[in-house]
Structure 1
Amino acid sequence: MRAIAYDEFGSADVLHLRDLPDPHPGPDTVVVRVVAAGVNPVDYKVREGYLQGLIDVDFPAVPGWDVAGVVEQVGLDTPELQVGDEVFAYARKDTVGGGTLAERVAVPVRTVARKPASIGFEEAAAVPLAGLTALQTVRRSGLGEGSTVLVHAAAGGVGSFATQLAVHAGARVVGTASEPNHPYLRELGAEPITYGAGLVDRARALAPDGYDVILDYVGGDAVETAGELLADGGTVVSITDARARDELGGEYVWVRPDPDDLTALAGLIDAGAVRVEVAQVFDLADAADAHRAVETGHTRGKVVVRVG
């Protein structure tokens, strides 16, 4: 099969299109014919070697955890799925190696769910990691009807989903984004503010009594300034900074694969409560450029690679 792989840590230049053996299903695994694969910031951080000690990499490594495609083979004990099922998955395994930037990928059934019927494969490939991160952070924040919520990087891959989920839950949402993305955030139901110098004053002006929940998807000063912006009893949740948990008593979240959560997201998408924003679509041969696009940190929504 054709796949993108790398043999050493480094820049996007180490990614090459090559021929690799087809994967085989384990007892609780299905082989998915990949139609599209999502690209996430963690993919380039693993590729550059930043997560050594946290995630082992088996060379030659095929990157990618997000996938949408069609079940082609099933394992010995996978009653949840059949050949021909259209699925999507956050196909994270214990090591990085046989990833989703390939024509076929072996996917544990504990990571996979049926694709939302109302969207195509490219949109579906944009959902798993970012959508699950948003869903699990929103849930652990405890926000609900009437909460006032500040979402950092609200127009990004995770932030776009979190903004919509918070609005759907009945919260008032203020989201940080660059000026060109303010109309987009208004479409999602949020009140946009510009990040950068003066952010604390701008955020406080919109919520003088503070925010019940702050969701950090960007890092930097987001957690440092949270103490100035939280309401009494408020909670900060971060995917980038453990100080949210260790110093502020909030939550530090590393997203988990969960087929039930993916099914819940699919239901919200099919019901029209959540929309999927795809920033760019690249062909498999251009996957290195997809990685470079994500590395800029300025994409609205998600970057996707078209495979099948």
Structure 2
Amino acid sequence: MKAVTFHHTGNPDVLTLDEVPELPVGPQDIRVAVTAAAVNPVDLKTRSGFLTMNLTYPAVPGWDVSGVVTEIGADVTRFTVGQPVVGMVAQPAHRYGTYAEQVVADARLFATAPVGVPLEEAAALPLAGLTAVQTLDKLTLPPGAPVLVTGAAGAVGRIAVQLLLADGHPVDALARPGDVEALRALGVGTVHTLAQDLPAATHTAVVDTAGVAASIRAVADGGQFVAIDDNDQPAPERGITPRKSYVNENGDQLQALSDLISAGRLTVPTGPRYPLADAARAHQDFGAGGLRGKVLLLP
């Protein structure tokens, strides 16, 4: 099968489209014909060598996938051949990632794809959605507690905002000036565009998706700060102990998110689309910043 590979870490040009052997389907696995794979920051950090990982080369990047089941293992009862699915496959833990024509992985990592959106767009959901859910799970919020989300217009931040609002929490944001109106349309209250303008000690929690350590100033004394970025975290202060959240594969949580999209209660915007052969250009453009919506790779 064709897949995007790299044989050593480096700039985007190390990515090439190659032929790689198909993987066998184990008893608990499914094989998925890929409709789309999404590009995530972790893909760029893996490819560049920013993250220290024991990769097996040639490595195939990619965590997010949407597609159609083409083969099921002997013990799989959750899915059938022909079913549209989405999945998050943590690339370092598997032989291949999702930048490929096919993905083979444990069926428990997948969920049925949301209805009402094109299957290729559903690839934008898994990693960002699971990161948002698992980050919010680390908070203990009283009813109606106000929360500030940094990077609120990004993939993870936007989902976190919607989930918090749905749970009845007033949400303020830190975002770029160009994202103010879109966030207000979601129901966000105050949208700050400069970290130095954040109010002091006003929010029960800060969800930091953008690596803005200074946003801890907005947490009330004894409140909560949880971050997803690899940047340096703030030091503890005022009874606040900052926490870091790492995403884990979870098909059940992913199914709940997919159901929210199907019900029209969650949206995940997509952005530019690139052929699989143009993965290097996709990485280059994504790394340059300024894009909105998930970048998708299409086999």
- Aligned residue identity for 2:135: T
> Is residue 70–residue 87 contact of structure 1 (8 Å, CA) maintained in 2?
yes
Partner of 2:121: 123
Secondary structure at the counterpart of residue 284 of structure 2 = helix
> Is residue 236–residue 244 contact of structure 1 (8 Å, CA) maintained in 2?
no
**Quick one: which of 72, 81, 84 aligns to 1:83?**
81
| Separation of aligned partners in 1, 2:185 and 2:284 | 28
Aligned-pair distance for 1:56?
2.2
- Aligned residue identity for 1:270: S
- Aligned residue identity for 1:43: D
| Separation of aligned partners in 2, 1:110 and 1:93 | 15
Cα RMSD (Å) of the superposition?
Answer: 1.9
| Separation of aligned partners in 1, 2:243 and 2:132 | 13
Partner of 1:217: 209
Partner of 1:18: 18
* Aligned residue runs from structure 1 range 156-171, under 5 A: 156-171=154-169
Partner of 1:252: 244
| Separation of aligned partners in 1, 2:242 and 2:77 | 39
Secondary structure at the counterpart of residue 249 of structure 1 = coil
* Aligned residue runs from structure 1 range 1-308, under 5 A: 1-52=1-52, 55-95=53-93, 97-143=95-141, 145-196=143-194, 199-201=195-197, 203-204=198-199, 210-219=202-211, 222-226=212-216, 228-240=217-229, 243=233, 248-307=240-299
Secondary structure at the counterpart of residue 35 of structure 2 = strand
* Aligned positions, number: 296
- Aligned residue identity for 1:62: V
Aligned-pair distance for 1:94?
4.9
- Aligned residue identity for 1:191: G
Secondary structure at the counterpart of residue 55 of structure 2 = strand
Aligned-pair distance for 1:276?
1.3
Identity %: 38
Unaligned segments of structure 2, at least 5 residues: none
Question: Which deviates further from its counterpart, 290-299 or 257-266?
Answer: 290-299
Aligned-pair distance for 1:194?
4.0
| Separation of aligned partners in 2, 1:213 and 1:165 | 14
What's the TM-score once normalised by structure 1's chain length? Answer: 0.90
| Separation of aligned partners in 1, 2:117 and 2:59 | 30
> Is residue 183–residue 191 contact of structure 2 (8 Å, CA) maintained in 1?
no
> Is residue 160–residue 301 contact of structure 1 (8 Å, CA) maintained in 2?
no
C-alpha change, 1:35 and 1:213, in structure 2 (3 Å) is same
Secondary structure at the counterpart of residue 110 of structure 1 = helix
Aligned-pair distance for 1:171?
0.9
> Is residue 62–residue 96 contact of structure 1 (8 Å, CA) maintained in 2?
no
C-alpha change, 1:215 and 1:111, in structure 2 (3 Å) is same
| Separation of aligned partners in 2, 1:8 and 1:293 | 20
Aligned-pair distance for 1:96?
5.4
Aligned-pair distance for 1:246?
6.8
| Separation of aligned partners in 2, 1:246 and 1:113 | 38
Structure ranking higher in strand proportion: 1
| Separation of aligned partners in 1, 2:94 and 2:279 | 17
| Separation of aligned partners in 1, 2:29 and 2:236 | 37
Question: Which deviates further from its counterpart, 5-14 or 229-238?
Answer: 229-238
What's the TM-score once normalised by structure 2's chain length? Answer: 0.92
Aligned-pair distance for 1:191?
3.0
> Is residue 33–residue 105 contact of structure 1 (8 Å, CA) maintained in 2?
yes
C-alpha change, 1:189 and 1:144, in structure 2 (3 Å) is farther
- Aligned residue identity for 2:30: V
> Is residue 149–residue 213 contact of structure 1 (8 Å, CA) maintained in 2?
yes
Q: Which runs of 4+ in 1 moved over 6 A?
A: none
Unaligned segments of structure 1, at least 5 residues: none
